[in-house]
């Protein structure tokens, strides 16, 4: 078990598969500031592991994948602290997950509401157990979906589906979510992790560099990380070229390169 700095966010790495578990079932896996920071550290740790080819994220217990941001953690914040700390740091953590070089699979073994749905949206693939409900209830509390619920969620789920959840307050079942593209598969209760492991093993058998490059290109097509994707892929091409070797040799030999 890797140390994320918070005992309520577990990270384990077994061969090619990394697994993140939100372990705060007594609070329906709602996120406070420490857990948000731990999620970012977990993402950075996975990114740094050369042998990891795919990651899974899920919640402990069967009631909630993640109930979103813990109301007690943010309700007393000043407007400045809410916007400049809580929302911004949440974006940093969720961006780190969405932009992992490895594909990320979310196992929705319980309800995914508000920030929990936004967390699920960071994944490339989502498996929901049949009892799960999905929604964006924030406006009913007088707040906005602040962790990219009006941005990444729209890119990945479509604007009309997000309007139905965020503006009209609709809550969808797992089966409805499958039809709407909110999730990619629906499985019986307690079968989410076995299904995710089987999917992760399929991903891990594919060419790792090709898979990672393809994920970056798909993200770029969505507008997720266009600049980084272009520079990373172009940089890899340049780094593999004879020009780089000549440039480095010329630099070390204090001569003009011959390209």
All residues at 6 or more sequence positions from 28 whose CB lies less than 8 Å from its CB, including other chains: 61, 63, 64, 66, 67, 110, 111
Q: What is the pTM of this model?
A: 0.91
Reported residue count of the chain is 259
In the structure, what pLDDT confidence band is assigned to residue 116 with cuts at 50, 70 and 90?
very high
- Which residues touch 65 (CB under 8 Å, ≥6 apart)? 22, 29, 58, 59, 106, 107, 108, 109, 110, 111, 112, 116, 119, 120, 132
Query: Where does the chain have alpha helices with state H?
Result: 33-48, 71-74, 79-81, 88-98, 115-121, 152-157, 159-166, 174-180, 192-204, 208-222, 226-239, 242-253
- For 21-75, the pLDDT digits (tens) are 999 999 999 999 999 999 999 999 999 999 999 999 999 998 999 998 888 877 7
Active site annotation includes 49: no
pLDDT in tens, 71-106: 887 777 787 777 777 788 889 999 999 999 999 999
Choosing from 40, 129, 138, 224, the catalytic residue is: 138
CB 6 within 8 A of CB 34: yes
Which residue among the candidates 40, 60, 118, 224 is catalytic per the annotation? 118
pLDDT-based confidence at residue 225 (cuts at 50, 70, 90): confident
Residue 138 falls in the annotated catalytic set: yes
* 59 DSSP 8-state letter: E
What is the rounded average pLDDT of the residues 140-158?
Answer: 93
Q: Which domains are seen in the chain, by residue range? A: 9-204 (3.90.226.10), 208-253 (no CATH)
Distance CA 21, CA 156 (A): 23
Distances (CA, A) of 114 to 30, 37, 125, 149, 191: 10, 18, 18, 8, 24
């Amino acid at each position: 078990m890797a140390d994320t700095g918070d005992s309520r966010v577990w990270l384990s790495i077994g061969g090619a598969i990394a697994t993140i578990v939100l372990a705060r079932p007594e609070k329906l896996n709602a996120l406070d500031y420490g857990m948000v920071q731990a999620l970012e550290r977990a993402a950075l740790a996975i990114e740094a592991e050369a042998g990891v080819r795919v990651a899974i994220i899920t919640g402990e217990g069967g009631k909630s994948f993640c109930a979103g941001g813990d109301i007690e953690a943010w309700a007393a914040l000043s407007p400045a602290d809410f916007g400049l700390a809580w929302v911004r740091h949440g974006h940093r953590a969720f961006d780190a997950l969405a932009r992992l070089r490895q594909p990320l699979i979310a196992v929705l073994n319980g309800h995914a509401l508000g920030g929990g749905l936004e967390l699920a949206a960071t994944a490339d693939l989502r498996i929901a157990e049949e009892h799960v409900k999905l929604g964006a209830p924030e406006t009913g509390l007088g707040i906005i979906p602040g962790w990219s619920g009006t941005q990444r969620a729209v890119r990945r789920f479509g604007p009309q589906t997000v309007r139905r959840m965020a503006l009209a307050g609709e809550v969808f079942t797992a089966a409805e979510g499958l039809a709407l593209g909110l999730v990619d598969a629906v499985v019986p209760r307690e079968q989410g992790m076995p299904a995710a492991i089987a999917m992760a093993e399929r991903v891990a058998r594919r060419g790792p560099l090709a898979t990672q490059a393809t994920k970056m290109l798909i993200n770029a097509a969505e507008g997720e990380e266009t600049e980084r994707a272009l520079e990373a892929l172009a940089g890899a091409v340049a780094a593999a070229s004879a020009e780089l070797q000549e440039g480095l040799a010329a630099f070390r030999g204090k001569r003009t390169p011959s390209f």
